[in-house]
Amino acid sequence: MAGIILLSGGLDSAVALALHLESHKLDLALTFDYGQRSGKQEIRAARLLAAYYGIAHKVIFLPFLAEQTRTALVSRDKDLPVLAESDLDDIQGQALVSAAGVWVPNRNGLFINIAAVYAENLEQPASIITGFNSEEAATFPDNSVDFISAINQSLKYSARQIITVESPTAKLTKADIVREGLRLGIPWDYIWSCYSDQSQLCGECESCRRFRRALGLNGQDNLADKIFKNMWQNKETLK
Ligand SMILES: [Zn+2]
């Protein structure tokens, strides 16, 4: 079966990649640049991960999406939402506010449909792999299992070939995903899971907070310290 992965270079997509490769192959990794602050870091992380796993990698530029995105994930005149760890599970309150503060219009729907264009030219049937997670599905509906079911229905009509979206991480919490990443030995120092464009993970945005908490829940405080304090800034030598 052919496969394409949507690879942002973050925790979830890196682990989804490694999980999928346990029993299937991947033909292509796609990374999207839509003007997000962390675009350079994400592209570099995805390039490193794709090379590590021996997968062809392509970056797709979507400048129109930057023009249409009003939130701080893209707009540098707005402050990125910061979240306390104690607010991560406040899905009716602070976590919902954070999600709204980084929303990108129809992002996952668009990315999957672009991947389906590439998938139609692969051997059939083909899979599109995404790194969704159950924690963020509570506030990002396009991260959910229901969304996967819905878009698979849609692809039956919009694609001529058999294309199925799968997410091996969609039912997992971030802690579950870290546990799987540890089991699979993913290269932790290649991951960029931060909304900011700083030289190292900011540690304060929702994505950083969830990643850091998940490492702690797995008893990986030392690894967390390396990831958040040391590794990324030392990777200037890794081109
Ligand atoms: Zn961050």
- Alpha carbon of 196 to ligand 1 centroid (Å): 6
Structural tokens at position 189: 């120092």
What mean pLDDT do residues 121-142 have?
Answer: 91
User: CA-CA distance, 165 to 53, in Å (whole number)?
Assistant: 21
- Domains along the chain? 2-237 (3.40.50.620)
- Alpha carbon of 41 to ligand 1 centroid (Å): 12
pLDDT on residue 237: 41
Higher-scoring residue by pLDDT: 58, 228: 58
Amino acid occupying residue 123: E
pLDDT on residue 78: 80
Residue 230: pLDDT band (50, 70, 90) is low
User: CA-CA distance, 159 to 36, in Å (whole number)?
Assistant: 28
Whether residue 144 contacts residue 56, with contact meaning beta carbons closer than 8 Å, is answered with no
pLDDT on residue 94: 78
Mean pLDDT of all residues belonging to the chain: 91
- Alpha carbon of 158 to ligand 1 centroid (Å): 36
Query: Lowest-pLDDT range, 1-10, 20-29, 68-77, 122-131?
Result: 68-77
How many residues make up the chain in this entry? 239
* Tens-place pLDDT, residues 154-169: 999 999 999 999 999 9
- Alpha carbon of 197 to ligand 1 centroid (Å): 9
Whether residue 57 contacts residue 13, with contact meaning beta carbons closer than 8 Å, is answered with no
Question: Is 8 a residue whose pLDDT tops 70?
Answer: yes
- Alpha carbon of 198 to ligand 1 centroid (Å): 9
User: CA-CA distance, 5 to 168, in Å (whole number)?
Assistant: 11
